[in-house]
Chains A and B, each alone.
Chain A
């Protein structure tokens, strides 16, 4: 039985679940000092005075600095995605010097012998602010005469892509649907808040961080701080979740490095939860104006998308590019004659936005899947039927979409059929109409989402064309140790995904070694010498493939060693179950024996180097395109506005599956996070720019008790763009579920004339919508 495809329990779970492991949070270094940051209580103000002298004499305090003290060396936090030629990338000091632009921006810091004393001393720092107007609303920010976030204006960039004749598509179209949707801001709320430790021996530096991107971080920190790259080691030990929020080069990472350089002592920073709610980059934050033109039978003629994307106060690592990850995704699985995508990035005096699970694709999927339901309602056709009339048929793959991507494989019919039968669609529709007829105060709605997404980031040449500063390849290295065990080094940087287990399964099959004999090492730039880390559902489809290809090279080297030992030609050897056998004989060598022979190197064939190992770097030539059909049945209490999800079916097609149990976990967590956007979560700022959801009492992260049982299943249409046939599953659930839930709610309330509920669909919003519709 092959390892790939088995629901193996995760090797990393015992240590992660018990917490008996090395996080950055519990890391200690000899003589370590703790830093605490004083953060701006104002959304927008000029800093007229910072006086840290009161803190300096307090017990345990070693040093205190304001932004001015660091101005000469702190540089500017990087943005790696200058999306257009004229994008405005404002200067972004890690510690504010003359102006603050969001509540929570660091304005001073205290370094003390422990965390508690550092926090106490912050209260002795005096800062004078001269208030400036907050800029909160996106449309108002662009209006003439709006106060400015930056000297250069509030528009970061603006771009438009048109394919096909968009005017012709809308001209005389029998049906035009015009909607505006709001993607609220979300806070990632990873289980482990951020933490950083920086040390130096006077010459070189080590930085531990609860990050998703040790490799990217090393390059970026070297460029930002001037510490030569070869003298900087970055380590991501075990990391308690990220969801994109730790795909960042943060002010705190830079400042900890600067402080260790100044003070010569290890510096540690632990974030508190409320500090994190304020200062971890947020996700989403878009206003989507969408127009769709269709024929009378529901076939789409054209789609026009115009986004206002909330950048927040600065452009951090990927800020301006996030909405553009949706540029090629609004057209989704549908065929059409014309498509236009426009996006304007807007500065506001709020925490910057950046990647959050799905990054750009959930927003796009929400927009199109919501408006497809509106089209169905307008035509009085079943929402799945409207989709059927428009989607790419399975025999049409590979298919080049209107936005220029080539979908390699897919079968929307099969996934939908399976979902329908698991869901009991017809029976639920019957119950829905019965409740409508009876005027039941609890109405039933059915929501559909036939999503696709683009992941496996990414073909380097396509990233280059999109003006992204780095490539999208990944590295894997596989070495057989003298005793026959295997050590794998991966450039991906797991933070809960289970790479150690999945990579072990791939290696076990490829080399014919026991699953237990494989170790996987990651997250340390001194050990994993190249890599591009973990985000965008890329790890398996790019990094896993690199590991597979490294295994294949190891096997080919072993074949030469076996041929030499068995005195035959390499072509005469069969490889099975970890051994080479001379075809038609029982002469054989196990791969473990060959590893030992390669180690002693006493008798190697000419031209073969000692040691049985190899590495590979894989750069995909296309994205991968998971898809699926998610169906949600929701009960809406029209008296209170409360939504209860009654059943949820997810049929995902993520190609070949390495570990079904890990997949199940990713799908469950993904759906939960998508439901969270639909029903519960929102980062709320008031008109002055104060964050009203700075604690988890106000920012409602749902728990298992708030979620239904999920019925999950799969169809399997292998990806053709990589040798594993895998498509990636890290974001699929999140991308699919948000529109499925909101579609269900709106479907329940259609008889009341409701066309939309702004997310999160709170009981109060639903109640007001129903009240507004009552005669």
Chain B
């Protein structure tokens, strides 16, 4: 399919990019283009201009910032999943990113683009939500931090304001004793998740002390499975874990589509949460 006409600009600095966006309400940020270009080609979006932020130095790279890892918005999925600091300090991010699409998409698609796009079927949003990441946004008016829990507003809608650019994400480092797993359920290896579960579990003395669980594609936004998190606290890995995980679908409103109806997604969320928690707990 062929997109309608649009303008294109590649500003040299973040400040310049903010100016470009402030000047034109119909302009859109272009990152890796892996989600935006399909929308243009199917003529589901008609921006006047694309502001390409792909090469802005302020948005690049993955950085160790002491108590957190800073992932630049334009770090590609491939960069992220190969990053030493990510694998050492927030391996859940690498585990989930490795399941995104295929190598070609992972070399173009970006961490920040995935979050700004706010697709609940994306794998990255649930992970950032589970890890209580903080998103850093910049506009002509200045910079602000947005906690992940406030970032995802609705289907394909984030709390980024018109003219704001996502600069990067702070992922707090979890201390010792945590195990991680991302359980993705899909029909073909390169497809989007029907349901995904991001789990971080801290165990000591055999029991689960604490857990962070977020679900992919179970609502218009990624969602935390708070009921399960609460139920799991203090449990050992025996039989009740399955019951605790059965709460995972409690506060969800999953979509129904060609690949799965809502009741099946709810069922999957329960089964997959159980698997994710067991694997995360076992990986400590």
Contacts and interface: CB of A to CB of B under 8 A. Distances in A.
B187 A700 contact: yes
Given A274-B1, A639-B271, A767-B267, A706 B189 contact: yes
A465 interface: no
Contact of B189 (A119, A703, A762, A767): A703
B4 interface: yes
A698 B42 CA distance: 14
A230 to B, nearest CB: 38
A768 B264 contact: yes
Contacts of A705: 188-190
Q: How large is the interface on A (under 10, 10 to 19, 20 to 34, 35 or more residues)?
A: 20 to 34
B153 interface: no
A764 B258 CA distance: 10
B5 interface: yes
Contacts of B2: 115-116, 119-120, 272
B1 A764 contact: no
Nearest to B43: A123
Contacts of B155: none
A637 to B, nearest CB: 9
Given A274-B1, A697-B192, A764-B264, A684 B187 contact: no
Interface residues of B, number: 23
Interface in A652-701: 680, 684, 692-693, 697-698, 700-701
Contacts of A642: 185
Contacts of B259: 762, 764
A748 to B, nearest CB: 18
Best-buried of A119, A275, A764 by chain B (most CB within 10 Å): A764
B268 interface: yes
B174 interface: no
Interface in B157-195: 185, 187-192, 194
Nearest to B185: A640
B230 interface: no
B5 A692 contact: no
Nearest to A704: B189
Contacts of A680: 187-188
A702 interface: yes
Interface string B267-282: 1100110000000000
A496 interface: no
Contacts of B102: 703
Contact of B258 (A273, A274, A693, A702): A693
A763 interface: yes
Interface string B1-45: 110110000000000000000000000000000000000001000
Nearest to B192: A697
A276 B272 CA distance: 36
Contacts of B191: 697, 700
Contacts of A123: 4
A274 B42 contact: yes
Q: Secondary structure at chain B's binding surface: helix, strand, loop or mixed? A: loop
B40 to A, nearest CB: 12
A702 B271 contact: no
A762 B4 contact: no
Interface in A105-153: 115-116, 119-120, 123
Contacts of B260: 763-764
B258 A692 contact: yes
Nearest to A118: B2
B261 interface: yes
A685 to B, nearest CB: 12
Contacts of A762: 187, 259
A511 B187 CA distance: 51
B188 A703 contact: yes
A705 B186 CA distance: 12
Contacts of A274: 1, 42
Contacts of A767: 264, 267
B91 to A, nearest CB: 23
A702 B186 CA distance: 12
Nearest to B41: A272
A706 B188 CA distance: 6
A535 to B, nearest CB: 28
Interface string A696-723: 0110111101100000000000000000
Contact of B1 (A275, A684, A706): A275
A698 B121 CA distance: 14
Contacts of A639: 271
A754 B1 CA distance: 43
Given A693-B258, A767-B267, A120 B187 contact: no
Given A115-B2, A762-B187, A764-B260, 13 more contacts: A120-B2, A274-B1, A274-B42, A640-B268, A640-B271, A693-B258, A697-B191, A700-B187, A700-B191, A701-B188, A762-B259, A763-B187, A767-B267
Among all A-B residue pairs, the 5 with the closest Cβ atoms: A705-B189, A119-B2, A272-B1, A764-B264, A706-B188
Interface of A: 115-116, 119-120, 123, 272-275, 639-640, 642, 680, 684, 692-693, 697-698, 700-703, 705-706, 762-764, 767-768
20 contacts: A116-B5, A120-B2, A120-B4, A123-B4, A640-B268, A640-B271, A680-B188, A692-B258, A700-B187, A700-B191, A703-B190, A705-B189, A762-B187, A762-B259, A763-B185, A763-B187, A763-B194, A763-B260, A764-B259, A764-B264
Interface of B: 1-2, 4-5, 42, 102, 185, 187-192, 194, 258-261, 264, 267-268, 271-272
